[in-house]
C-alpha cells in the first residue's frame, strides 16, 4: 500500500539506503531482487560494493521507481501482491526492506519468494517491531494505538510483527532462518542495549531483521535411491 503522506521521490521515505544490510550479502556476482526498492539506494550500495551483477526491483510509487531504474536493470511498477514475476529459481537474494508490513497477505508473498530464489538463495527481510517499548507504553498506560504518517504505526501498515512472528512467517514458508537481529537506533538506546547485554533489545528496537535460506532439496532420483537402498 502506497503512503499518501510521501509523494516526493527524494523524501527520506524513499531514499533510506539501509546500508547495514549490505554485509549480509556475500561478495560475488549476485542476482538480486529488491521488493519495495523505492529510489534504489539499496541497489546502488550493492553495486558500489561489487555485490550485484543484476538488479531487479519492484516499487509501487512510480516516481521512485523511475529513479531506481537508473540503477537497476529492470524495475516493475505496481503492487507486488498483484505481480506475476516470471522468474523461477533465479535470484541469489531477495530483499524485503520494510515492505511486508504493507501487504494484505505477506505470508503468501513470502511463499512466492521461495519459488523465485535459487536453491541456497536467501531472503533478507526487515519489518517494524511492534513490541517496541513506546508502542507498549502507549497501549498499556494510555490506551492508545495511534497511527501516524511513518514509523512502527505507519497508517499504511496492514500487518504487525515481533521477532517470533517474523521468524515463524519465514519458517512456515519452508525457509531456514540463519540470522536474526533487532535493529536499535539512538546513542542512548545503543549504550543501554550494550550495558544490558542485549536483554532488552526486543523492547528497544524499531525493526526486526531476519536472513533466511531456501533449503537445497535432494534430487528426486537421489531420494528414491536412498529410500530403496537395501538394509545392510
- For the stretch 134-145, pLDDT in tens is 999 999 999 999
Query: Measured between alpha carbons, how far is 146 from 77 in angstroms, rounded to an integer?
Result: 30
Query: Could you report the per-residue pLDDT of 167-208, keeping only the tens digit for each?
Result: 999 999 999 999 999 999 999 999 999 999 999 999 999 999
Q: Average pLDDT of the chain?
A: 89
**Of the candidates 65, 123, 115, which has an alpha carbon nearest to the alpha carbon of residue 90?**
115
- 90-132 pLDDT per residue, tens: 999 999 999 999 999 999 999 999 999 999 999 999 999 999 9
Other CB atoms within 10 A of residue 178 CB: 11
The C-alpha atoms of residue 41 and residue 133 are separated, in whole angstroms, by 30
Ordered by where they begin, the domains of the chain are 12-128+162-184+208-216 (3.40.50.150)
Q: Which long-range contacts (CB under 8 A, 24 or more apart) does 164-168 make?
A: 166/125, 166/127, 166/208, 166/210, 167/210
pTM of the predicted model as reported, rounded to 2 decimal places: 0.86
CA distances in angstroms from 7 to 15, 58, 63, 102, listed in the order given: 12, 17, 8, 17
Does the pLDDT of residue 9 top 80, yes or no? Answer: no
Amino acid at each position: 500500500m502506497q503512503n499518501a503522506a510521501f509523494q516526493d521521490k527524494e523524501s527520506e521515505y524513499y531514499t533510506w539506503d539501509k546500508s547495514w544490510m549490505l554485509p549480509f550479502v556475500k561478495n560475488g556476482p549476485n542476482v538480486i531482487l529488491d521488493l519495495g526498492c523505492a529510489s534504489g539506494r539499496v541497489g546502488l550500495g550493492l553495486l558500489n560494493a561489487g555485490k550485484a551483477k543484476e538488479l531487479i526491483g519492484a516499487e509501487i510509487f512510480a516516481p521512485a521507481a523511475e529513479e531506481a531504474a537508473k540503477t537497476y536493470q529492470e524495475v516493475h511498477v505496481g503492487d507486488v501482491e498483484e505481480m506475476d514475476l516470471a522468474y523461477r529459481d533465479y535470484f541469489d537474494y531477495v530483499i524485503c526492506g520494510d515492505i511486508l508490513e504493507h501487504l494484505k497477505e505477506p505470508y503468501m508473498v513470502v511463499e512466492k519468494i521461495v519459488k523465485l530464489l535459487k536453491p541456497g538463495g536467501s531472503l533478507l527481510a526487515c519489518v517494524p517491531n511492534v513490541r517496541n517499548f513506546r508502542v507498549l507504553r502507549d497501549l498499556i498506560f494510555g490506551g492508545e494505538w495511534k497511527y501516524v504518517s511513518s514509523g512502527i504505526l505507519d497508517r499504511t501498515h496492514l500487518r504487525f510483527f515481533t521477532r517470533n512472528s517474523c521468524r515463524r512467517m519465514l519458517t512456515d514458508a519452508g525457509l531456514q532462518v540463519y540470522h536474526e537481529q533487532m535493529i536499535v537506533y539512538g546513542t542512548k538506546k545503543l549504550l543501554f542495549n550494550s550495558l544490558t547485554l542485549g536483554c532488552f533489545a526486543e523492547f528497544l528496537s524499531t525493526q526486526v531483521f531476519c536472513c533466511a535460506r531456501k533449503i537445497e532439496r535432494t534430487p528426486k532420483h537421489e531420494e528414491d535411491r536412498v529410500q530403496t537402498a537395501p538394509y545392510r
